[in-house]
Every structure is written in C-alpha cells, then in structure tokens.
Amino acid sequence: MNRSNLGRRFSACCRNALLAFCAWVCLSTAVMAHASLTGAMPQDGTVLQTVPEKFSLSFSEPVSPLVLSLVKPDGSSVALPDFALRDRTLAIAPPADLGSGTYVLSWRVISEDGHPVSGSIIFSIGAPSSAPPDVADVVDLKVRGALWLAKLGLYAGFFFGVGGIFALNVFMRDRSVARAFVGLMIVLGLVSVVTSVVFQGLDALAAPFARFADPQVWKAGLGTSFGSTVLVMAGALVLSGLALFSPNARLSRLDSVMALLSGSLSFALSGHASTAEPQWLMRPSVFLHAASIAIWTGALVPLGLAFRNNATTAGPALIRFSRFIPLAVLAMVAAGTILAVVQVRHPSALLQTAYANLLVFKLVLVAILLLLAAINRWRLTQRAATGHQDDARHLVRTIAAETLLVLLVLGIAAAWRFTPPPRALAVAAEQPASAHIHSAKVMAEVTVKPGRAGPVTASAVIMRDDFGPHSAKEVIFVFSQPTAGIEPIRRKALTSGDGTWRVSDLVLPVSGQWTVRLDILINDFELTRIDGTVDLKP
C-alpha cells in the first residue's frame, strides 16, 4: 500500500470517528445551566440544639460534588466523603464527634455547564462560638491566569488554525502560502486542548499547580460537558493537520470543511451561552457564531502573507473572499446579537456586571473590526487585487490591525469563563428561599418565591412531628425584620386542602435575613407558633 492510500484511509478513519463522536455527544447532551444553591439544611446562621442526622444542599440544576468539608470550631477541617446525590439534592453524612460551637459546611461542586460553584453554610450546635472559623475562598490567580492562556490558545488554534486551513482550501486554493503559520496554530490548539483540561481541573478543585499530575484533577477537567468540548475540538484540530499536509486537494478540502464544522460544534457543547434557554436557539447560534468567525478570521493571515509575498494567487483569492465574507459577517452579527440579548436580558445589566462590561468592550472592538473590514472591501480590495502595490501594502497593514483586534476579542471571550452572565445571575435570584421550622408537635417547610426582595409568594407545608400531613384549621404568616425597622407583616394563608398554605399578596421590600413566624390554629382551643428565618437576595 503506498503512502497516499495509507494517508487517505487514515484521514477517512479520523473523519468517521469524529462524526460518530459528534453524533453521540449531540444526542446525549442534556439541558444545562449555571447552578446555584436553592436550599440548605441546616440553614445559614441557625443554632441547632442537637447534631443533625444529615446535612443537605439543594441546587437549581444537577451538580457533581468536588470538595465537601466541615470546619470545626477550633479551625480544623475534616473531609465529608460520605454523601448521596439524589436529583438536585446532595445529602451528606456528618462526622460522629461534633460538639458544641460554630461550624462551617464548605462545599465546591461543578455544574453541568462545566463551571465550578462554591460556598459555605455557617451554623452552630448548642451555642455559637465566640468567633466563627475563617473559611475564606482563596482564588489562585496563577491557575486562573494559566486557564485563561490555555483557552486563548485553544481559540487561536481553532480560529487561525482550523479557520486558516479552510481559507487555504476554499479561498486561496494554495496551501503553501501560509502553511507554516497555520500548522503552528494547529499545534498551539492541540497543546492548549491538553493544558486547558488540567487547568480546568485545578480551578474546579481549587487545587494548586503542584497537583497538575493528580488523576482527580484530570477527572474533574474532563468530567462534565467541557470534556466533550475539548475532545471534539481535538478531533477538529487533527483533521485540520491532515488537511494541511494531504497530497489530495479534494480530500484536503473535505477534511478542512469537516474540521470547521466539528470545531464549531465543540463550542456549542458547553459554556454559559450554550446552556442557556431556549436550547433550540442558543446552541445553533453558538455554532453559527463560531463558524462564521473562523471563516472570516482564518483568512486574514493567509491573505496578508500572500500580498506581502506578492503571491500570484493573492488577487483571485481576495476577490473570492470579498464575495463570500458579507454572508459570514451577517451570520456572525445575527448569531452574536441573539447570544448577547439572551445572556444580558436587560440593557441595564450592561453596566452592572463584569460579564456585561466585557461584552461592551468586545462590541467596541468588533465595531472597529467591521469598520476596517469595510475600508478593505470598498477602498482597497479591487485595486489591490488588480496589482496596485500601494493599495496592497495598505491592505496588509489593515489586515495586521484586524488580526491584532481579533486576538484582543478572543482574550475577552476567554475571560468570560470566570464571569457568570446576567442571565445566570437572574436565574439564581429567581430561586426560592426556604426554611425548615418546627416545634415538638408541628413542623413546616416554608418557601418564599422568588428568593429576593420585592413581591413574593410565601407557602408552607404543615406536617406532624412524624412528617405526616397536618390538618390545621388556620395558618397566618408573620414576617418581620427588626434590624431594618420593619414591624411584623401579617397575612392570612389560604389552602387548597393538600396541606400547603399559601400567601400571594405579599411584598418583602428589603433583602437580608427575615424572621418568619407561623401562627397555626390546630383546633378551636389550641394555637401553635413556630418561627425561623429566610434569607432574601437583593
């Protein structure tokens, strides 16, 4: 078998394997979002008289636990390895030797969109300690910086490497023009795929650099949808490498198209934008946005090198590119607008969150890019393509400026990994606040929805001490916040007969910890009062 046939078979095997894997991840990827804590037992700030039988953490979306620990009153920390995950609730067995004092239940989980989420619950047993233990969540800036660089390298590998070989095959039709640059970008992308996995794992576990070879770090990096992204991207980069050196022009063109499509698909498998609702709109928009950017930016350096070297293919390639690129830019702007509108949700958020601030900066850079592209198309393209050297030199300079701006835009996109979008923050704010309150005879699960200040609906499931439904005759909610000078707000609840009592005409005007009391009329002669606290977000 000659080398040409061997290369053709190897390329076909890679394409088929990548197709099969892409089909599998598309069928198996679930609807995902940025998870947030919706409830905890014990509640933050509560004082328990006895050691609870279990700790529980409930989240808005399915999560995978990474680190669970309990900090004791003396400041020592113990791991909590005994837990069970049921749907969105994590049930954790407490250690057996808990005494009196203040404890901190510290948790770190990873949501299904690949982003770590962490927090702490402070509670006391018997009586609070004189000073609670310190559990500051320290961010390792070195790991964060390395993860940012790895993501930037992955983006450069796709947009300049995969996009570059697509441009060489479709627009240039001469792979020798920028073979070295495109090959370097593909190698950079492959290296970044590997390093992004380990740095993703280190960041997820809040682990130091020294643990880069720990299998648990790699497992954390590959354990969620991000693992699908990097595996599909690796396949796309390998196909691009085959396309770059394939002796068969038709096969090379097919491999480059496959690489562009699969690499664009990889971005739709994880991340903030891909996991937002509605899924039928967001995932295709991410795919289209990535593909159109790759088509545009992948051609920049090859065209610039062709005109700098006076390549004979430069003029015809520029004409082909200029005819096609308006469609790519239109698709990029349309898809990007959809993504921005869904992620930001409200224009006021553009000035209120780090994510939106980065978006504004990115939009300014994109506007400058589009201005330079317009100058290239309407003032320089035709004359440079017909051999005018001065215009060709101006074109090379503007292409260099565009390439620099693209790198800045990619750097901003890589920084979004560390900033939840306003859409995710709004979803977290809409999650209900809850409290479990009880006495010797009666208990209640109280829910305030949404769990933020403003108009809310309060409900309570009234139960006997054996957790059976309680047939109360009347329930009155009493909310107060003495620290804010808010006197008790009383509302009579209504029930549908299923044990749930509800109040809908209620406004809790400020955030913070509210005291909630339930006045439960058990019969004509017996009234029971139970109280607890709920925390409302701003």
Per DSSP, the residues of 88-110 read TEEEEPPPS---SEEEEEEEEEE
Q: Indicate the average pLDDT of the chain.
A: 83
Q: Which residue has the higher pLDDT, 352 or 26?
A: 352
Helix axis angle, 141-156 to 389-415, nearest 10°: 140
**What is the mean predicted confidence (pLDDT) over 82-101?**
83
Write the single-letter amino acid at 134: D
With 70 as the cut, is the pLDDT of residue 30 above it?
no
- The edge-to-edge listing of strands for the beta sheet with 474-481 is 486-492, 474-481, 512-523, 526-536
C-alpha to C-alpha distances, 180 to 8, 37, 168, 481, nearest whole angstrom: 22, 49, 12, 68
**What is the mean predicted confidence (pLDDT) over 283-305?**
94
Q: Which residue has the higher pLDDT, 221 or 13?
A: 221
**What is the mean predicted confidence (pLDDT) over 509-534?**
86
Q: What is the pLDDT of residues 164-177, one digit of tens each?
A: 999 999 998 888 88
pLDDT recorded at residue 432: 81
With 90 as the cut, is the pLDDT of residue 254 above it?
yes
pLDDT recorded at residue 339: 92
Q: How much of the chain is helix, strand and coil, in % rounded to 5?
A: 50, 25, 25
With 60 as the cut, is the pLDDT of residue 317 above it?
yes
Using CB atoms within 10 Å of the CB of residue 491, give its burial: 0 to 12 exposed, 13 to 18 middle, 19+ buried.
middle
Go through 253-289 and write b for each residue having 16 or more CB atoms within 10 A of its CB, e for each that does not: bbbbbbbbbbbbbbbbbbbbbbbbeeeeebbebbbbb
pLDDT recorded at residue 176: 83
pLDDT recorded at residue 113: 61
Return the number of other C-beta atoms located less than 10 Å from residue 97's C-beta.
8
pLDDT recorded at residue 335: 94
497: which residues sit within 8 A by CB, 6+ positions away? none
pLDDT recorded at residue 168: 94
Q: Are 96 and 111 in contact (CB under 8 A)?
A: no
With 80 as the cut, is the pLDDT of residue 18 above it?
no
Lowest-pLDDT range of 5-9, 258-262, 295-299 = 5-9
**What is the mean predicted confidence (pLDDT) over 186-203?**
93
**What is the mean predicted confidence (pLDDT) over 111-126?**
76
The band of 472, judged by pLDDT with boundaries at 50, 70 and 90, is confident
Lowest-pLDDT range of 82-96, 112-126, 147-161 = 112-126
Write the single-letter amino acid at 338: I
340: which residues sit within 8 A by CB, 6+ positions away? 359, 363
Per DSSP, the residues of 19-49 read HHHHHHHHHHPPP-----EEEEESPTT-EES
Bridge partners (DSSP) listed for residue 532:
516
Lowest-pLDDT range of 261-270, 430-439, 481-490 = 430-439
Lowest-pLDDT range of 92-101, 166-175, 191-200 = 92-101
Most confident of 8-12, 187-191, 326-330, 533-537: 187-191
- Grouping H, G, I as helix, E, B as strand and the rest as coil, residue 120 is strand
**What is the mean predicted confidence (pLDDT) over 498-509?**
85
Q: What is the pLDDT of residues 333-386, one digit of tens each?
A: 999 999 989 888 777 777 778 888 888 899 999 999 999 888 877 877 777 777
The band of 40, judged by pLDDT with boundaries at 50, 70 and 90, is confident
**What is the mean predicted confidence (pLDDT) over 143-171?**
94
Percentage of the residues of the chain whose pLDDT score is greater than 70: 88
